[in-house]
Amino acid sequence: MRKKSFRPDVDAPAWKGGYSPYDIIKEGTIALVVILVLTLIMAVVFGSPDEKAITVKTWSNADPIDFATTALSELNGTSVSAAYGAPYNNTPGASQTMGPLKLEQWVGVRIPINSAKDFVISPLKSLPDQPVLDQQLKTWSAASTATKNTWLKSYAKASTNMKIVKGQVVINATNAGPVPVMINDLTQMARSGALDQALVTGHGFYTTDYTKPLLFLADSQYLGDLAQKQHLTGEQWGMMNETGSYPGQAWLWLYTFWYQIPPFNSSSSGDALVFATMGVLSLLLLFVPFIPGLRSVPRKLKIYRLIWREHYREIEKV
Amino acid sequence: MSTSEIDRQWTTRLRRRVEGKLPPEKLLPDTQPTYVSSWIYVFGIATMCSLGVVIGTGCILALRGPQWWHGSDYGHFINSMHLWSVEIFFFCMVIHLWGKFAMAAWRGGRALTWMTGVVTFLVSIGAGFTGYVSQSNFDSQWISTQAKDGINSTGAGAYFNVLNMGQMLMWHIVLLPLGAIVLTGMHVLMVRIKGVVPPFEEEAETEVAQ
């Protein structure tokens, strides 16, 4: 038999002390009943939140100007979704990086989103019996990129004075080509509820993929304002909260914490930095048993003396 | 058939290995070392029991489909139980984890037990998160649209699309619970095989046999 030095943070001494009766089944049953009762009490007393999902219809009726402005940003490529980069589209310099690692860019476009086509043009094309709109869409398609940009700039310039009159988007834009008709008709389509359906039916009759309507909604001011009222924004530790006064995902506190301090909250690759940091911390936690110094922390902290106080009391008596 | 032939069978060898590693008195012990006498030990079994309630209430929700609880008082109550059992589960799990850290519970060849526990914790965070983004209400709309940026920044968003409610629901009710259950099972079996880690011996230099 070979003998080696005892490493207190790696080896455990062989137990030479006594044993006491232990009914594992009884303990498990009691624990299950206690947890079940506790869950029942909390469910009865506190319930759970269920704030109804918003739709493009509710958004466009509650704030049609925000909707029309967002639609314009999808069409002229200035929305967050339009210039997001991978995995939605190719936008040079938009992808986040982890130092030399450009994971987002390397993976590339896997969920293609063309915000002008997916959120504006295609839904408008799906509307039946719209001769004026159809003509305007043909004009749009036939125009050069330069002409489209001129129209969009004219419309964007005039959009600061946009009004909603009798449900119609009214704007005093000259040289805006078909853009006023397109934005107005998309707003009408949204307010009727038809746009909700047009955005989710990209894969046919059955679908469970809400990528497009969620990206569109996320580009709005409306969604952010609602979240602000529900204390859900990033500065409000929003990722771990939920609507109402519920604990939410409290276990994400450390992940959310990084978003509150520099450089994470000021870097253009803040999300990537937070994920990299949490990845490193998770690996440290996983490999604690093998990391000299870190694995000695419990022995030096001596919290174990509190846990095993009876054991040490007995030893001191002896 | 000769005895040696039976001895060579995979089934025989596996059974003998299991019997050697985990005899019935280790699997279902009726005694425990006297040092196992602290409230901190309760949180391990409490975590498992709350996982049981999470899965039970999740199964009831699954019976009627993902939209049921939005329009039914009974369904909403089951959802509330599901939510609070998750909160209790994480509360117990975190205390269990830090309690085991304080005990340096990886000592004595228990590193894999520690690691399966940490991975179970990480998988459970994923299970909780996919539950939040597949609720199909305002919370899931907001959380998914915010979380996408973090997940996309790792490159994983191209394959793990948090805006795809169907995909998130499948991860939430099939893949991640399966992972959590299998890992928990492995973790518990390892605890039973190796036993509960003994206290630190405060006298320096003890010798261990190898």
Q: What is the ipTM of this complex?
A: 0.92
Q: Which domain holds residue A266?
A: 230-286
Cβ–Cβ < 8 Å for A86, A109: yes
CB contacts under 8 A, B 138-177 vs A, are: 138-147, 149-155, 157-159, 161, 163-167, 169
Residue B209 lies in a domain: yes
Cis peptide before A131 (omega within 30 of 0): no
Residues B133 and B187 in one domain: yes
Residue for token pair 């006297």: B34
Q: Which of A234, A269, A312 sits opposite B153 (nearest CB)?
A: A269
Of B40, B107, B136, the CB nearest to A11: B107
A237 and A222 share a domain? no
The answer to whether residues B151 and B208 belong to one domain is: yes
Mean pLDDT score of chain A: 93
Lookup: tokens for A164: 């909603």
User: What is the C-alpha separation between A3 and B208, in angstroms, rounded?
Assistant: 6
Chain A contact for B5 (CB, 8 A cutoff): no
Count residue pairs from A and B with Cβ separation < 8 A.
Answer: 301
Same domain as B108, residue B77: no
> Mean pLDDT for chain B?
94
**Do residues B140 and B173 both lie within one domain?**
yes
Residue B55's domain comprises: 40-86
Over range A49-53, report the average pLDDT: 96
How many structural domains comprise chain A? 3
B153, A271 Cβ separation under 8 angstroms = yes
CA A105 to CA A93: how far, in whole Å? 9
Evaluate whether residue B157 is within a structural domain: yes
Residue B110 and residue B188 in one domain: yes
Is residue A92 included in any domain, yes or no? yes
Q: Is A10 a member of any domain?
A: no
pLDDT digits (tens, 9 = 90+) for A186-211: 999 999 999 999 998 767 788 899 99
Taking an 8 Å cut-off on Cβ atoms, the answer to whether B163 and A269 are in contact is no
Per residue in A151-169, pLDDT (tens digit) is 999 999 999 999 999 999 9
Number of compact structural domains in chain B: 2
Whether A131 and A140 have beta carbons less than 8 Å apart is answered as no
Contact criterion met (CB < 8 Å) for B128 and A289:
no
In a domain, A14, yes or no: no
A203 DSSP 8-state letter: G
Provide, for chain A, the percentages of residues in helix, strand and coil under a 3-state DSSP scheme, each rounded to the nearest 5: 60, 5, 35
pLDDT computed for residue A296 by the predictor? 97
A175 and A92 in one domain? Answer: yes
Residue A12 lies in a domain: no
Token couple for B208 = 């261990």
Answer yes or no: are the C-beta atoms of B162 and B148 closer than 8 Å: yes
Q: Is B80 in the A-facing interface, judged by CB distances under 8 Å?
A: yes
Distance between A30 CA and the closest CA of chain B, angstroms: 10
CA gap A297, B188 in Å, rounded: 25
Name the pLDDT band for B205 (thresholds 50, 70, 90): very low
Is residue B80, in this structure, part of any structural domain at all?
A: yes
Two tokens, residue A293 = 């110094």
| pLDDT 10s digits, A2-27 | 567 899 999 999 999 999 999 999 99
- What is the DSSP code (8-state) at residue A169? E
Instruction: Tell me the pTM.
Output: 0.93
**Residue A235: what pLDDT?**
74
Residue B95 lies in a domain: no
Q: Is residue A172 domain-shared with residue A100, that is, in the same domain?
A: yes
Q: Say yes or no: A73 and A125 in one domain.
A: yes
pLDDT on residue B15: 95
